[in-house]
Structure 1
Amino acid sequence: MVVRKRSLFVILFAACFLPYITTPVAIGFIFSYMFDWQSGILNQLLIQLNLVTEGVYWLQEPFIARCVIALMFIWRHLGYFMAIYLAGMTAIPQDIYEAAKVDGSSGTHTLFTITLPLLKNISVFLIVTSVIGGFQLFDEPKLLYGGWAANSVGGPDNAALTVIWKFIDDTFISDNRFGYGAAIAYSLFVIIIFFSMISYRITAGKGEKE
């Protein structure tokens, strides 16, 4: 029974971690195929279930476009987050959990009073790196909308336009505004440095004071 549970855990963990090692190009094509209004899997499923009579233009709605890109980002990095959190949880001494169990602490109480506080540095690290990764996002939205038409930069109402996409388009594709592109690049560099400093101050500042 224990071996079976471990095997199931390994399979589920591998399934969750697989998108992280998959190339962004493949992920972009997968989601583009899933949400295509003519041949998309989602529309075909909804039509077969008689929930809609015709395909829905998922990627032409600004709000839905943002949700799809957010879903792509979460789906791709979920396995990475799981691996980091599991590594942090294995570093927590088991004596703490045993003492909490002896004191009658429930699972929920232990989670919020012991596990999450001890994983604070890891949570801050993942949040900051996710914000930085969001600023650097380019491949996924570009693959969703870049091939539709020449004027499809940014998707509907620029809902999918990211900083890097705007930088590349204004600097090398639509225009040759190298000064404007340099300003975007330097601004993004300053923002990333700012969030990196916040992460360092939160995670390492307390240890240095002690």
Structure 2
Amino acid sequence: MGFIFSFMFDWQTGIINALFVKMGLLKDGIYWLQDPWLSRIIIAIMIVWRNLGYFIAIYLAGMTAISQDVYEAAKVDGATALHTFTRITLPLLRNISVFLIVTSIIGSLQLFDEPKLLYGGWTASQVGGPDNAALTIIWKFVNDSFMNVRFGYGATIAYALFMLIVVFSIASYKLSMGKGDQE
């Protein structure tokens, strides 16, 4: 995926620049991967593209588990589609939403492959992209631990990351508990 996006956003031969130039939106190509903000946006697009199908499948599974009787009762009571969605569907999908949000946060803390492959693969000379805009915690950990042989610093990063993930996991558990389940 990193290679595909690096080819799509290449400033000379990328399909995105060619499309924008052909439509008349740009006169010359943009150096997408050399701008700190644009590189962050490209990485965000990569992550959304990677996770969108998974999120849709999980939400569809949750929505099919909701009994149709609930929707029929709301319709009989005269609820609008918006009211049904905000008062029935969203609250019943709360645990699924919390699960997806927390796993996304944990996944973002562990992000490594996309930025690393986007900026030259495993032999990248440009660590972290332009102005370290694409540098992630795991990339910093790998760089410090194995490239710069600073094992103590790498271990500190790993323990801090572990603690952050534990905090988000506990928060997920607390948020997903129902009001009647809390002691």
Which range, TM-score by smaller chain? Answer: over 0.9
The aligned runs of 1:161-172 (5 Å cut-off) are 161-172=135-146
Query: Which amino acid is 1:181 matched to?
Result: G
Write the distance in 1 (CA, Å) between the matches of 2:165 and 2:122: 31
1:131-161 residue CA offsets vs partner (Å, 9 max, x unmatched): 0000000000001113498541111111100
> How do 1:13-92 and structure 2 match up within 5 A?
27-92=1-66
For structure 2, the residue ranges without an aligned partner over 5 or more in a row are: none
The Cα shift of 1:91 comes to 1.1
Q: Percentage identity across aligned positions? A: 66
Supply the AA of the counterpart residue of 1:114: I
Q: What is the aligned partner in structure 2 of residue 190 from structure 1?
A: 163
1:154-209 alpha-carbon deviations (Å, 9 max, x no partner): 11111100000000011111x10000000000100010011001111121364644
Q: Following the alignment from structure 2 to structure 1, what is the Cα–Cα distance between the partners of residues 178 and 159?
A: 27
Which TM-score applies when normalising by structure 2? 0.94
Q: Give aligned pairs, total.
A: 183
Residue of structure 1 aligned with 2:83, choices 109, 129, 136: 109
Distance in 1 (CA, whole Å) between partners of 2:128 and 2:56 is 31
1:18 equivalent in structure 2:
none
Change (3 A) 1:176 1:207: farther
CA RMSD, Structure 1 to Structure 2 (Å) = 1.7
SS at match of 1:137: coil
Contact 1:167 1:184 in 2 (8 A): yes
| Whole-Å separation in 2 of the counterparts to 1:107 and 1:179 | 56
The CA deviation string for residues 5-28 of structure 1, in whole angstroms up to 9 with x for no partner, is xxxxxxxxxxxxxxxxxxxxxx11
The residue that corresponds to 2:174 in the other structure is 201
| Equivalent pair of 2:116/2:122 in contact (CA under 8 Å) | no
The whole-number CA distance in structure 1 between the counterparts of 2:153 and 2:122 is: 26
Range that drifts further, 197-206 or 80-89: 197-206
Unaligned runs of 5+ in 1: 1-26
Shift of 1:44: 0.8
Could you state the TM-score of these two structures normalised by the residue count of structure 1? Answer: 0.83
The residue correspondences of 1:137-156 to structure 2 (distance < 5 A) are 137-147=111-121, 150-156=124-130
Matched, 1:120 2:88: no
Displacement of 1:42: 0.4
Q: Which amino acid aligns with 2:166?
A: I
